[in-house]
Amino acid sequence: MLIVVTIIGIVASVSFPAVTSGLSGVRLQSAAGSVASFLTSSMNRVDRHEQSAAIVVSPKDNTLAVYTSASGDKPETRPGDAPGNCYRG
């Protein structure tokens, strides 16, 4: 029984770094997909309404927003942020 527990511990300790390094890649892929989806849906909306738009990336405030002439000073859309997402420009 002690040998089985030792083997399980060794396997777990060897596989742990591989699992944790893979999580950062999954998070990055998810964040990139979220931003791409936001930009695509925003540009589709702008095309439908035939408006001009400005995409603003603010690293200081960690935000991404789309402004149109109809929205004025407040952004028309912002992506739904997952905790830990960080936009850098």
Q: Dump pLDDT digits (tens) for 59-79.
A: 887 778 888 877 776 776 666
Tell me how far apart the alpha carbons of residues 7 and 13 are, in angstroms, rounded to a whole number: 10
The answer to the question of residue 74 being in a domain is: no
- Between these two residues, 54 and 84, which has the higher pLDDT value? 54
What CA–CA distances, in Å, run from 14 to 10, 21, 49, 82? 6, 13, 55, 30
Give the tens place of pLDDT for each residue, 10-55. 888 887 777 777 777 788 888 888 888 888 888 888 888 888 888 8
The answer to the question of residue 76 being in a domain is: no
pTM: 0.60
The answer to the question of residue 59 being in a domain is: yes
Domain of 64 in residue numbering reads as 2-68
Report the number of distinct structural domains present in the chain.
1
